[in-house]
């Protein structure tokens, strides 16, 4: 499965942006909506607690297992911690499975294809529960 995102690449970054500028959650929300899903809102802001941001994925989301990057499907959201200290979390969304490609928005660059991720920088990967049936109900 693949979702068309070429029109998003290069859009400007905007904190809390949901179009025409986007933050990382705004990009994920657009991709999920293109898959026919309605993701719950996640508020943006520079003063957000990064651990709380990850915990907000509780209701409605399925956390993928021990090796979440191996289990990711189109529409899954990957939470990373570039600092390695839970000082900041970042979201990317899977837009293609073979090869695995992710999309995100960064402050200096706007909407871009996310760099290759490793399990060590991944806090978790999540699948919207309403999407679970669409990808065969796979849980890891």
| Topology adopted by domain 24-133 | endopeptidase fold (from Nostoc punctiforme) (3.90.1720)
Asked whether the bond before 55 is cis by omega within 30 degrees of 0, the reply is: no
Burial of 3 (0-12, 13-18, 19+ CB in 10 A): middle
Q: How many CA atoms lie within 13 A of 20 on its CB side?
A: 4
16-41: per-residue pLDDT in tens? 888 899 988 889 989 999 999 887 76
- Rg of the chain in Å (alpha carbons): 14
Domain residue limits, the chain? 24-133
57-78: per-residue pLDDT in tens? 666 788 888 777 888 899 998 8
Stated pTM of the model: 0.81
């Amino acid at each position: 499965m693949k979702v068309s995102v070429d029109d998003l690449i290069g859009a400007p970054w905007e904190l809390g942006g949901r179009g025409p500028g986007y933050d990382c959650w705004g990009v994920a929300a657009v991709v999920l909506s293109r898959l026919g899903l309605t993701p719950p809102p996640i508020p943006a802001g520079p003063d957000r607690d990064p651990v709380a941001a990850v915990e907000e994925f509780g209701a409605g989301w399925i956390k993928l297992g021990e090796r979440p990057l191996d289990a990711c499907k189109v529409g899954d959201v990957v939470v990373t911690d570039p600092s390695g200290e839970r000082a900041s979390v970042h979201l990317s969304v899977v837009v293609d499975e073979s090869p695995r490609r992710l999309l995100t928005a960064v402050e200096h660059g706007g909407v871009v294809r996310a760099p290759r991720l490793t399990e060590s920088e991944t806090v978790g990967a999540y699948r919207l529960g309403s999407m679970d049936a669409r990808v065969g109900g796979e849980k890891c």
